[in-house]
Amino acid sequence: MLKGFSVPLTPQGKSALATLPPWHYSSDCVAIEFWADRSAVAAVLPPGLAVDESSAGRGFFWFLDWQFTGSNDELTDPARYQYREAFLLVEAVFEGKPVNYCPYIFVDNDAAIARGWAQGFPKKHASVYQTRSFSAPSPAAAPLAKGSRFGASVAAHGERLATARIQLEEAVPDPSTVFNRPTTMRRYFPQLTAGRQDKPAVDELTMSLTDDLAIVDVWAGSAELKIPEVDGEDMHLLAPLRVGRGYRLGMAYSVTDLRILKNYAG
């Protein structure tokens, strides 16, 4: 009997990129609020999602240093299971309710790609970095304190896709005032058989379900964000017209389920 939640299925199930949930995550995050062109936001939304007219093109660009564990002490194998991620969220409306939608997302780890695709996150491979906050005091420590500066970047195939910097100003007592929309994605897997290459085998609008969500140590401050045009990427179409606040926070949750909002594939 072959085992594994994802490929490859193998006799003992050790090689599978993803094992069965629960999947547990904890992270440090840098997030930058920005406003993109309203029509560019509309252009990336799948059927059933509409631009949130109250948002006027607002989005967030996130950088995350993740630690993952499943049921096998994966967090003690950081070479395989620790990873970094960057993604762009745009604000939208689904059946009248405010949501985020994720058109672009990058990680530096193949297990994260496999789990992400299963959810609908359209992950690609990239190098992602963010300034960390260390406890040993030093000009290099970047403590969680007024005036600390953090940088973050994502690059793929030798092209810089986004660069951000924030400077902390104040703690945010209630993170739900900032981060309060569920995230929706498009779960998609194509067919290669001739004649069916435009009829995906899987094409669904999904919603991320995050058990035991914890958002901690939120700080806000000033921010910079650049999304330059590079060959082979469309993401710059959502480049910021205006940049808002920058945030630095910790976030954790577990994944055991996925909500399917729509099935496009019929």
Among 190, 199, 241, 242, binds a second copy (CB under 8 A): 190
Among 37, 55, 56, 122, binds a second copy (CB under 8 A): 122
Q: Is residue 234 involved in binding a second copy (CB under 8 A)? A: yes
Structure token pair of residue 40: 């560019």
Smallest gap from Cβ 172 to a second copy, in A, equals 15
Q: Could you tell me where the beta strands, DSSP code E, fall in the chain?
A: 23-35, 49-51, 58-69, 82-94, 97-107, 123-125, 127-130, 149-156, 159-171, 183-189, 202-208, 211-226, 242-255, 258-263
- d(Cα 137, Cα 143) in Å, to the nearest integer? 8
Q: Is residue 175 involved in binding a second copy (CB under 8 A)? A: no
Q: What is the distance in angstroms between the CA of the first residue and the CA of the last residue of the chain?
A: 31
Q: Is residue 118 involved in binding a second copy (CB under 8 A)? A: yes
What's the CA dihedral at 18, 22, 25, 31 to 10 degrees? 90
Among 80, 146, 199, 242, binds a second copy (CB under 8 A): 80
Smallest gap from Cβ 249 to a second copy, in A, equals 8
Among 53, 96, 136, 174, binds a second copy (CB under 8 A): 136
Interface with a second copy: number of residues (CB under 8 A)? 110
Would you say how long the chain is, in residues? 266
Sketch the per residue contact string, 91 through 110, with a second copy: x for CB under 8 A, - otherwise: ------------xxx---xx
- d(Cα 164, Cα 73) in Å, to the nearest integer? 33
Identify any residues that bridge with 42 across adjacent strands, giving them in sequence order: none
Q: Is residue 25 involved in binding a second copy (CB under 8 A)? A: yes
CB count in 10 Å sphere of residue 123: 22
Q: Is residue 150 involved in binding a second copy (CB under 8 A)? A: yes
Q: Decide whether 95 or 212 has the Cβ nearer to a second copy.
A: 212
Q: Decide whether 54 or 158 has the Cβ nearer to a second copy.
A: 158
Q: Is residue 123 involved in binding a second copy (CB under 8 A)? A: yes
